[in-house]
Structure 1
Amino acid sequence: MKPPMEWHPRHPAFQALLAALLREVQPVYVVGGVVRDLLLQRHDHLKDLDLVLDQPVLPLARRVADRLGWAFYPLDEARDVARLVFTAAQGEPLICDIARMRGEHIEEDLRSRDFTINAMALAITQPASGGMQMELLDPCGGQADLRRGILRRVSPYCLAEDAVRLVRAVRFMAQFAFTLDLETRVQIQRLAGTVRLASPERIRDELWKAFTFDRPATTVADLASLGLLRHVLPEVAATQGVEQSYPHYQDVYAHTLATLTHMAHLRAWIAGTAELPAGGAWPLLVETLAPWRFHLRQHFAHHPSTGRSRRDWLIWYALFHDVGKPATRTVEELPAAAPDDATPNPRSRSRRYRFLGHDKVSASMVEERLTWLRFSRPEITLAQKVVAHHMRPHLLHASFARRPISRRARYRFFRDTGNRLGEGEVGVDILMLALADYLATYAQDPPPDWDAYLRHVAELLDFAFGEDGLAALMQRPLVDGHTLMLHLNLPAGPQIGRLLEKIQEARAAGEVSTPEEALRFAEQCLHHKGA
């Protein structure tokens, strides 16, 4: 791998910023992920740039920002770090963090960083003849570690200095599929408890980034093997060794990892970044979801909070959906099993484990953990709803065995999983979690009754996205509250709201379709004291 001698950011705003800085000071050092990704020949669109200067930063950065129209923020006045933000008419903002060099020389600054693959710099100068000259600085052997696929600490001190770097190691393992250097692994295991000293927001950001990559189950397993899981996601760690009865064939922790793996496949397929596996349960699943792929992609492209897509929340649903099981498990001793008992899990032959109410307990634990991690309230509410209702599709499938789910039941599913009808699409998130959960429950591939389960999922998706489902119900109501009060001679109050809800449900079930039918239906409800 040859060190790059030439690099130019594609965006004109970054080009202008570098040129302006070079007129003020030389050299300008480009550090961090830009250098690493350049050596890895990753050419993703650059949105964040990290620079180091060998002189006071804040006054210089403010002066350049004012000249070029960037917003200026003193990110850390004590350490002399500035953030410049450029907001274009279209696209995401561009961010440039500029820090003053730590130490007397750039090599000293680089040796204070976390991992060798991040401890490199491009020294950029601009000679009088014009153009830019660049030199790659690599005092810690980062290039060699990139070639070998090794994640190695710069020094023992660098991990002890900042506890969030322990979680960042797992994130880089997920991002690049690198292997931890043995000495680095041993030190992380020894320092694992200190991760609690890091701010929850920084832990959140590292976990979020780690779970956006392709193998979230491996990421959880890496957190566990390094001793970090019980400190950053203790609810998930507590599921280890919690046995379950048939149809489950794994303990809660292993089942969670399997659910994560299936959900990662679904997420990639929805996004269009990968196709689903070719064998087992997947071909029929593709056939079922394919008519709704465009709608699913649109649905999960939504951002409940800035910078975090709904699509990536799928992984967090899977991660937390069963964390309430350890707290709700009860054990029932059974008579000795017959010799030919074919139950997949031999341990469940003598005991039956129940987890009554685990979905609601899981939702409560989700709120507590996501609040600690400083996620936004809309994100927390969304995750709570999905986890709290993740058993609903399974129960609907059992209730409507060998027959279609009624339109009334479909309506109630989406109504109950949203605060109001317009939020009924939360049920779509629940369906994706239910699919991954169902696949992970059984040892068989495809799982039992798979075609019937998928037919029920298709019916619910049709109600969510089809023209005669939620879309029709979200149009103008057949009657409003004022009309009901006049027609039935009723005062304003909760009774009117209950009648309107009954009319909406009857409309969903196909029992009323005109204002006249809706008013007659309301009269019947009053007559039978149903409202």
Structure 2
Amino acid sequence: MLERLWSMSQDTTIYVVGGAVRDAVLNKKTHDYDILLPEPGFLAHLASVSRALGLEPYALNLEHKLWRYQRSSAVIDVAPCGEGLEKNLRHRDFTVNSMALKLSDYLQGDLTQLIDPCQGRADLSRRELSPSSSSALRDDPIRVLRAARFMGELGLTPTLELNRQAESAAVALRQTPGERVWNELYQVTNCSNAPELYDWLDNVGALAAILPELEAEKGIEQNQYHSFCVYEHSRRAFAAYLNLWERSTFLSPNLQDKVRAELQGMDPRLQAICRLGALVHDIGKPKAKSFKDDGRVTFYRHEQVGAEMIPHIAQRLRLSGLESKALARFVRWHTYLAQLARQPRLNEGHLHRVARRLGTYSVPIALFNIADLLGKGEDMTDDTSFEQMTTAVSRYLHAWYYQHDEVIYPTLPINGAELSVQLGLPPGRWLNDMLSYLGEQAAMGRVQDRDCAIKLAREYYRRMPR
């Protein structure tokens, strides 16, 4: 879209600034542009931009006169140059984002005219991320999370000055609007090196500010089946989980392809929710911790306790209803398949039962069972439970993709209302339990027709506790 402003730039000084210039230096393509227009007559210049683009802008921030034009995936943010270009650049977040080019030079790819008062190009060549001023992160604490994102997306290393400012500004993230926090955090979570980025956020104190539930896990020792405290286990399981997203070698090649396609096809924010679920899966353990008579530690019902904590996280981060429910489901049922995997024989009825609990997030939650196991010790692939778990996950995913109508969600020949009439009972909780039971029986091929379903229902009802 910028090409449409070429003729306008002959009479008006237009600067391209920020990420678009950084990407030009890195020889990367972008569809996201920031431009500065002269302060005198800004609204008249904005009207000229609208005519040139054939679009109307919408306000992002009226106080700072920040406007946005958008067409498909292309975005142009427009602001006045204010008190001067150099001062504007020095007030930006990081040196690599504090460079500018005149629009004509940018369109011609002429980097010899680069305006770079903060030496951002030199930092890029050193692969370093540094704040553009001594107060950059204090001015806007969200830049702590943005720093982690740029470290992940651009492969940059934080300077000592960035670390110092991040440590000082991190506590202010507690007062930062949750929408802004999650908007940065979900992008950090989706970076390929997210575990390292979260470690950095932990080291500078940002993780404790935005997810204090994880801070509470530190130092909580576990039972004999775990080599690490709860927090160390969580971060290791998180790292293992992200590796499994890319390479699940324990699966058959066909299943690997299907799993990879499904995970990569998820909405980016829901991808991040599942990954975040892997990190916070055990947040209920500190509250659920207790001891048996023989002194052994137990975390009975920690999954349910953790799921009950999710609404507080969702409110803090201003997650959508869908995101909140997905995160709660992940935490609540993250061990369910692992528990059933210990059955002497995992049958189709068990697989159906798993599907009813994991729902549409079956694939990411099932996959996490492997990561959860890998996070227990140094080399769990040699443990006998690893083969048991990978076999169970493979069986479940095979059913999910190849036996969906027969095992995962079989169609019953009778519905709840008809069952209620046949048994002469009013609708109630018993009906949901009954339908779950019939679903399991159907998954095992034991429901041939309507009469068979009614017979099984009567037998099950007689066994139900009164």
Asked if residue 184 in structure 1 is aligned to residue 162 in structure 2, the reply is: yes
| Aligned twin of 2:76 | 96
Deviations 1:242-297 (Å, cap 9, x if unpaired)?
Answer: 22222211112211121121112122x1xxxxxx4xxxxxxxx5142533233323
In the alignment, which of 276, 280, 287 is matched to residue 320 of structure 1? 280
Does the 8 Å CA contact 2:399/2:408 hold for their aligned counterparts?
A: no
Matching of residues 124-523 of structure 1 within 5 Å: 124-125=103-104, 135-267=113-245, 269=246, 276=247, 285-303=248-266, 308-331=268-291, 352-400=296-344, 403=345, 405-417=346-358, 424-449=359-384, 450-467=386-403, 469-470=404-405, 474=409, 476-481=411-416, 484=419, 488=422, 490=424, 493-494=427-428, 499-523=434-458
Paired residue secondary structure (1:137):
coil
Paired residue secondary structure (2:164):
helix
Does the 8 Å CA contact 1:57/1:82 hold for their aligned counterparts?
A: no
Provide TM-score, normalisation by structure 2: 0.89
Task: Tell me, in whole angstroms, the C-alpha distance in 2 between the residues paired with 1:181 and 1:211.
Answer: 22
**Distance change in 2, residues 1:221/1:328 (3 Å):** same
Task: Tell me, in whole angstroms, the C-alpha distance in 2 between the residues paired with 1:247 and 1:131.
Answer: 62
**Distance change in 2, residues 1:326/1:530 (3 Å):** closer
The alpha-carbon deviation at position 333 of structure 1 amounts to: 8.7
Does the 8 Å CA contact 1:166/1:188 hold for their aligned counterparts?
A: yes
The alpha-carbon deviation at position 398 of structure 1 amounts to: 1.9
Deviations 1:175-232 (Å, cap 9, x if unpaired)?
Answer: 3332222233223222332222322211112211112112222112111211222111
Provide TM-score, normalisation by structure 1: 0.79
Matching of residues 31-50 of structure 1 within 5 Å: 31-43=17-29, 46-50=30-34
When structure 1 is superposed on structure 2, of 219-228 and 70-79 the one drifting more is: 70-79
Deviations 1:75-106 (Å, cap 9, x if unpaired)?
Answer: 2222111111213xxxxx32211111131x21
The alpha-carbon deviation at position 392 of structure 1 amounts to: 0.9
| Aligned twin of 1:116 | 95
Task: Tell me, in whole angstroms, the C-alpha distance in 2 between the residues paired with 1:329 and 1:500.
Answer: 35
% identical equivalent positions: 26
Does the 8 Å CA contact 1:124/1:132 hold for their aligned counterparts?
A: no
Task: Tell me, in whole angstroms, the C-alpha distance in 1 between the residues paired with 2:306 and 2:462.
Answer: 42
Does the 8 Å CA contact 1:62/1:72 hold for their aligned counterparts?
A: no
The alpha-carbon deviation at position 20 of structure 1 amounts to: 6.2
Task: Tell me, in whole angstroms, the C-alpha distance in 2 between the residues paired with 1:527 and 1:235.
Answer: 45
The alpha-carbon deviation at position 156 of structure 1 amounts to: 1.2
Paired residue secondary structure (1:441):
coil
Does the 8 Å CA contact 1:26/1:125 hold for their aligned counterparts?
A: no
The alpha-carbon deviation at position 529 of structure 1 amounts to: 6.7
When structure 1 is superposed on structure 2, of 514-523 and 170-179 the one drifting more is: 514-523
Paired residue secondary structure (2:135):
helix
Structure 1 segments unaligned to the other structure (5+ residues)? 1-12, 88-92, 270-275, 277-284, 335-350, 418-423
CA RMSD, Structure 1 to Structure 2 (Å): 2.9
**Distance change in 2, residues 1:476/1:19 (3 Å):** farther
| Aligned twin of 2:62 | 77
By percentage of residues, which structure has more helix?
A: 2
Task: Tell me, in whole angstroms, the C-alpha distance in 1 between the residues paired with 2:341 and 2:293.
Answer: 29
Task: Tell me, in whole angstroms, the C-alpha distance in 1 between the residues paired with 2:406 and 2:238.
Answer: 31
Task: Tell me, in whole angstroms, the C-alpha distance in 2 between the residues paired with 1:98 and 1:117.
Answer: 19
Deviations 1:390-431 (Å, cap 9, x if unpaired)?
Answer: 11122112233xx3x1111111111133xxxxxx23232221
**Distance change in 2, residues 1:255/1:71 (3 Å):** farther
In the alignment, which of 29, 50, 61 is matched to residue 65 of structure 1? 50
**Distance change in 2, residues 1:472/1:439 (3 Å):** closer
Does the 8 Å CA contact 1:69/1:86 hold for their aligned counterparts?
A: no
Paired residue secondary structure (1:183):
helix
**Distance change in 2, residues 1:500/1:236 (3 Å):** closer
Task: Tell me, in whole angstroms, the C-alpha distance in 2 between the residues paired with 1:183 and 1:499.
Answer: 63
Paired residue secondary structure (1:38):
helix
Deviations 1:83-132 (Å, cap 9, x if unpaired)?
Answer: 11213xxxxx32211111131x2111101111111100121238xxx979
The alpha-carbon deviation at position 384 of structure 1 amounts to: 0.5
